[in-house]
Amino acid sequence: MLGDNAATALTVYCDRYEETLKERDALTDQRKKLLKEMKGLGLPVAGIKALLADAKKDQEKLQALREDKELAGALLGHPVFTGEVQKEVGDTFADDTVDVGRQRVTDLSNLEGEIVETGASLKEILADAKSEGFAPKLIPEVVKIRRDPEAFRETSQLLSTYLTAVGVSV
């Protein structure tokens, strides 16, 4: 049993974690809507996502990977293009679509950054809780149970049934 001070501290950590989780969930929902809108505009969403992901990676490692792909392609007799494409987007999209598309890519990039920041905040909350002597891996579980206690009851009952069936008493 936790004392009053520890229970209060744990509640604060759980509240902070849950609030940050809600923020991340809202950002993720915004991201999904934005990607759906971009797809509706006919933008190359998969390519955009891949380029944004590559932009976060170590550029030297990416260059080495490109070179490896070129060598592998040469060995297999398959052409592999790993350079830059200088394609005029005006040939494919109307000017207003290009402008909207660029703005949506900027918005997506910003959202991705915010999602990463909230993930870092979640880790920081758990690290703070750990430094206070709490088990950080249990805080997300507590928050999950607080959000949907009925699902926890059902899972607990089923788990208890399974444990009994295999001869484990708890």
Q: What is the pTM of this model?
A: 0.73
DSSP-derived secondary structure letter, 93:
S
Domain boundaries, the chain: 1-43+108-170, 46-92
Per-residue pLDDT of the chain (170 residues; tens, 9 = 90+): 678 899 999 999 999 999 999 999 999 999 999 999 989 988 888 888 888 887 777 778 878 887 888 888 778 888 776 666 555 655 566 667 778 888 888 999 999 999 999 999 999 999 999 999 999 999 999 999 999 999 999 999 999 999 999 999 87
Q: Chain centroid to CA 118: how far?
A: 10
CB atoms within 10 A of CB 129: 21
pLDDT given for residue 101 in this prediction: 83
- 23/55 Cα distance (integer angstroms): 24
pLDDT given for residue 137 in this prediction: 96
- Residue 112: closest CA among 46, 21, 28: 28
